Structure formats: C-alpha cells, structure tokens
Amino acid sequence: MKPRFSLATREALWALAFLAIPLVFFLFIRIYPAFQALWLSLFEWNADPAKRHYVGLEHYSRMLTDATLGKALRNTVLYTVIGVPLQLALGLILALLLQSVTRLRDLFRAIYFTPYITPAVAVAWVFSWMLSPNFGIVNEVLGLLGIPAQKFLTSPAQALPTVTAIVVWQNLGFQVVLFLAGLESIPRTYYEAARIDGAGGWATFRHITLPLLNPVMVFSAVIATIGFLQLFTQVVNLNFTDQGGPVGSTLTLALYIYQLAFARFQLGYAAAVTVLLFGLILIITLVQLRILSRRVEY
C-alpha cells in the first residue's frame, strides 16, 4: 500500500510537531504575559479585582513626571553603557590570553567560569561583606596600602560603579567561554597566510580575528545588554537594607517595577513600566543587531 505522504513530507511534519512544543511554551511563558502587561497597564489596580478600573494612557503620561522612574532609567542606561563594553573587552582579552596557554587551559577556563554559575544572591552577599566600610576585607587591604577606607555600596557616587564591577566580574567567565569557542573555530590557515604575507600581530587581529569573531561579538553584546537592562538580583542583595540606594543611586527599572507591584501594590503602573522596559530592550537589541551585524566574506 502506497503511503499517504512522501518521506520528505513526513519528516517535515514531524519537525513541525517537535517545533510546536517549544513554540507553544514560548508563546505561553513569554508572549502572553507581555500582552497581559500591556493590557493591565491601561487599568488602575491594587490587586483587588473588584476595584480595577480603566484609565487608558494615564499611567504612560504619569511616566513623564515620575522623577524616580527617570532616575531608575538613567541608572539602567549607565549600567549598560559602562558594563557591556567593559565585559566584552575583558572577555576578549582573557580569551586571547587563554588561547595562547598550552597547559592547564581547561583549569583556567573553569576558574573563570565558576563565578557565572555561582548564585547571584550568594555573590552579592559575599561582596556586601567584603566591601563593608567597617570590617570589610577590601578596606583592610586598602588600609595596609595607606589608602583611606572607601564607602563603596553606601556612597551615592561609588555605589553604581561598584555594582557594575561586581556584575562584570560575575558574568566575565561566560564571555570568556564564548570568545574562546569563537577563536578556536577560526581556521588556522588564515593566520598562516597572514604570516607569509608579513602581517604583524595587530594587523592579523584587526583584519582576521575581529571580522571572523563578529557573530560571537554580536551574540555576546546582545546577551550582555539584556542582562544589564534587566539587572535586579545583585542590586537587591548587595544593599539589602537600602534596596536601590543610597538615595536611589543603584535603582534599576526592574527593581522599580518590583517595588511598585509588591511594595506599593500599584500593579497597573508597574505593568506600564514593564512595557517601557520591554520596549527599551527590544529597540536596543534591534539597533545592536543592525549596527554590529555584518556579513563576512570568506
């Protein structure tokens, strides 16, 4: 008996069936909540369904005069602008150095990757102790060097750079692994040809390594940017008694959404800020893909 579908058709149907499972999961977990947040942002709601009422775009007009939101947005942008280039640059430099190591390379790779798989809460609590202005080990070392004790997380001027440095340190191993994979995928014949042509180290890096690493750099930049735009856990736990402080100097959009929704129960306005954050991530990601992506001719 002749089968109803050809082998190619059956393979395509099975592929679509298997793809439908993660697609449904993604739509239910990601897309549906996004539209729910957009819908909820049009209502005034404090968690009591009976008291929810439609207010239209009132929450979005409120954003224009919300000074706290402006500070959270400014801090979030600063985290991203400072942290992403620093994280990518350090990740690439360390990957280049590790590539030149012939012995114990896997050990060094594991050492750099360990902070990334360590729970962010644990990292934040350890650093909050180490950076304490009263008994932290960092200030103890600075004292031995004759440097005055620093306030770090309790200083409005130092808190944001300190949090950024901690986040960069924790995520650095992920970037190192990505760049190492990209470097090892570049054919050695390109470098041999460059040496034969008399190209120096900088010329080889600029004209061979960087162009061929472009896909990895785009992925790394997008992932790092999304991570900094959604920064929450480290900010909450580094200064647990003054979340987002001091005086709002470390407040992020994600933390502000949390405070609005679960501390003040302003769920409608929190949903509106969520939509703002979603739009910000979407726009910046698309701009990055447009600017950074380029086709490499082999």
For residue 31, what pLDDT band results from cuts at 50, 70 and 90? Answer: confident
pLDDT tens digits for 35-64? Answer: 888 898 998 887 676 678 888 899 999 999
Average pLDDT taken over every residue of the chain: 87
Distance CA 44, CA 5 (A): 54
- pTM for the whole structure: 0.86
Asked if 150 and 130 count as a contact pair (C-beta separation under 8 A), the reply is: no
Exposure on the CB side of residue 292, measured as CA atoms within 13 A: 19
Structure tokens at 174: 């992920």
Residues 6 or more apart whose Cβ sits within 8 Å of residue 281 = 225, 226, 229, 230
Q: Which has the higher per-residue pLDDT, 10 or 253? A: 253
**Res 296: pLDDT:** 45
Highest mean pLDDT among 8-17, 46-55, 94-103: 94-103
**Res 8: pLDDT:** 75
For residue 294, what pLDDT band results from cuts at 50, 70 and 90? Answer: low
pLDDT tens digits for 222-248? Answer: 999 999 999 999 999 988 888 888 889
* Percentage above 70 pLDDT, the chain: 95
**Res 81: pLDDT:** 95
Place of tokens 């058709």: 9
**Res 3: pLDDT:** 61
Distance CA 275, CA 181 (A): 35
As a whole number, mean pLDDT of residues 102-117 equals 85
Distance CA 245, CA 262 (A): 18
**Res 221: pLDDT:** 92
**Res 87: pLDDT:** 95
As a whole number, mean pLDDT of residues 75-103 equals 91
Residue 298 pLDDT exceeds 50? no
What is the set of domains in the chain, with CATH numbers? Answer: 66-292 (1.10.3720.10)
For residue 69, what pLDDT band results from cuts at 50, 70 and 90? Answer: very high
Exposure on the CB side of residue 195, measured as CA atoms within 13 A: 5
pLDDT tens digits for 202-223? Answer: 888 888 888 889 889 999 999 9
Place of tokens 């979005």: 60
pLDDT tens digits for 171-214? Answer: 999 999 999 989 888 888 888 888 887 878 888 888 888 888 98
* Percentage above 90 pLDDT, the chain: 45
